[in-house]
Amino acid sequence: MTEQVIYQSPLMYRILRDGDGLVIEVVVGGIAMSSVRVRLTEDEALAYERDGSRASDKLANAIMASPRFGGRSYPGSS
């Protein structure tokens, strides 16, 4: 599956586009840092398209606060 980085944030996350839509990959943790990915829902993707980094910053902060993100997260690339 080919993916394209469409936004790289200084807040330690990035937005990716793959064949199925948008994914956010967020660095989480303290001493043992790792990354998790969450596929954006249609509403989240629309919010990102409309509001850009303001919407993705809010989403990334919510994932950092709760990396399981309601069971929606899966391991990232690191």
Residues 20 and 42: beta-carbon distance below 8 Å: no
pTM, whole model, 2 decimals? 0.90
Tell me the per-residue pLDDT of 19-38, one tens digit each, with 9 for 90 and over.
Answer: 999 999 999 988 888 999 99
Mean predicted confidence (pLDDT) in 47-76 = 94
Provide the pLDDT confidence category of residue 1 given band limits of 50, 70 and 90: low
Instruction: Give the list of residues 6+ apart from residue 18 with CB closer than 8 angstroms, or none.
Output: 1, 2, 3, 4
Provide the pLDDT confidence category of residue 62 given band limits of 50, 70 and 90: very high
Supply the pLDDT for residue 21: 95
Is 78's pLDDT higher than 80?
no
Q: Is 45 helix (H, G, I), strand (E, B) or coil?
A: helix
Structure tokens at 7: 């936004």
Residue 73 CA to residue 67 CA, distance in Å, equals: 7
SS3 readout for 49-71: HHHCHHHHHHHHHHHHHCCCHHH
